[in-house]
Amino acid sequence: MRLGVEEMLGALNAALGPGGPVWFKETRARHLRVRDFLAPRRALEARFGDDQVPERVVHAIVGLQGPGVAPVLSCAPTPAGLALQLRRSAVFERVLGAVAAYAAPIVPAAPGPRVVLHCPALRGSPCALRLSQLRAVLVADHLARALHAHRVSVRLVPAVRDPHMPTFLQQLRVDWPAASERAATEALRSRALAELTPARNAEALPPGALGRVYLKELVDERGRTTGYDPNLDSCLGRTRSLAGPESSRTPHSPPASALCVLFAVTEDLLAVLAELQQAVQDWAEDSSLGLAAAPDAGADSCMVVHVVSCEEEFQQQKLDLLWWKLDDQAPLRQKHLVCGPVKVAGAPGTLTAPEYYELRHAQVCKASALKRSRDLAQDSAWMEIFRVLSVATIKFEMLSTAPQSQLLLALADSSISTKGTKSGTFVMYNCARLATLFESYKCSMEQGLYPSFPPVSSLDFSLLHDEGEWLLLFNSILPFPDLLSQTAALPCTAPGLHITVRTEMVCKFLVQLSMDFSSYYNRVHILGEPRPHLFGQMFARLQLLRAVREVLHTGLAMLGLPPLSHI
Instruction: Give the best-scoring range by mean pLDDT among 208-222, 235-249, 289-303.
Output: 208-222
DSSP for 315-359 reads HHHHHHHHHHHH-TTS-S-EEEEEEPPEEEETS-TT-BHHHHHHH
Please compute the mean of the pLDDT values over residues 448-465 and round it to a whole number. 95
Measured between alpha carbons, how far is 160 from 173 in angstroms, rounded to an integer?
Answer: 15
457 CB-near residues (< 8 Å, 6+ apart): 97
Q: Is the pLDDT of residue 454 over 70?
A: yes
- Using CA atoms, how far residue 442 sits from 511, 534, 552, in Å, is 27, 17, 20
- Using CA atoms, how far residue 303 sits from 117, 315, 321, in Å, is 9, 19, 15
Q: How confident is the model at residue 291 (pLDDT cuts 50, 70, 90)?
A: very low
Report the relative pairing of strands 302-309 and 114-118 from DSSP bridges.
Answer: parallel
Q: How confident is the model at residue 263 (pLDDT cuts 50, 70, 90)?
A: low
Q: Which amino acid is at 31?
A: H
- Rg (C-alpha) for the chain, rounded Å, is 28
Q: Please give the backbone phi and psi of residue 79, each rounded to the nearest 5 degrees, phi first.
A: -55, -30
Measured between alpha carbons, how far is 283 from 16 in angstroms, rounded to an integer?
Answer: 47
pTM for this predicted structure: 0.88
Instruction: Give the pLDDT confidence score for residue 553 in this predicted structure.
Output: 97
Model confidence pLDDT, tens digit, residues 61-86: 999 999 999 999 999 999 999 999 99
- Using CA atoms, how far residue 233 sits from 85, 243, 536, in Å, is 60, 20, 73
Instruction: Give the pLDDT confidence score for residue 414 in this predicted structure.
Output: 60
CB atoms within 10 A of CB 63: 11
Domain ranges within the chain, ordered by starting residue: 5-86
Q: Is the pLDDT of residue 238 over 50?
A: no
Please compute the mean of the pLDDT values over residues 485-508 and round it to a whole number. 89
Measured between alpha carbons, how far is 343 from 132 in angstroms, rounded to an integer?
Answer: 9
- CB-based contact 397:415 (threshold 8 Å): yes
Q: Which amino acid is at 243?
A: A
Percent of the chain residues topping a pLDDT of 70: 80
Q: How confident is the model at residue 285 (pLDDT cuts 50, 70, 90)?
A: very low
Q: Please give the backbone phi and psi of residue 246, each rounded to the nearest 5 degrees, phi first.
A: -60, -35
Q: How confident is the model at residue 416 (pLDDT cuts 50, 70, 90)?
A: low
Measured between alpha carbons, how far is 478 from 92 in angstroms, rounded to an integer?
Answer: 10
Report the relative pairing of strands 81-86 and 72-78 from DSSP bridges.
Answer: antiparallel
Q: Is the pLDDT of residue 290 over 60?
A: no
Instruction: Give the pLDDT confidence score for residue 278 in this predicted structure.
Output: 86
Instruction: Give the pLDDT confidence score for residue 122 in this predicted structure.
Output: 95
Model confidence pLDDT, tens digit, residues 106-135: 888 777 779 999 999 999 999 999 999 999
Please compute the mean of the pLDDT values over residues 311-337 and round it to a whole number. 86
Instruction: Give the pLDDT confidence score for residue 199 in this predicted structure.
Output: 53
How many H helices and E strands in the chain?
19, 13
Residue scoring higher pLDDT (546 or 314): 546
Please compute the mean of the pLDDT values over residues 438-443 and round it to a whole number. 96
Residue scoring higher pLDDT (93 or 379): 93
Instruction: Give the pLDDT confidence score for residue 495 in this predicted structure.
Output: 81
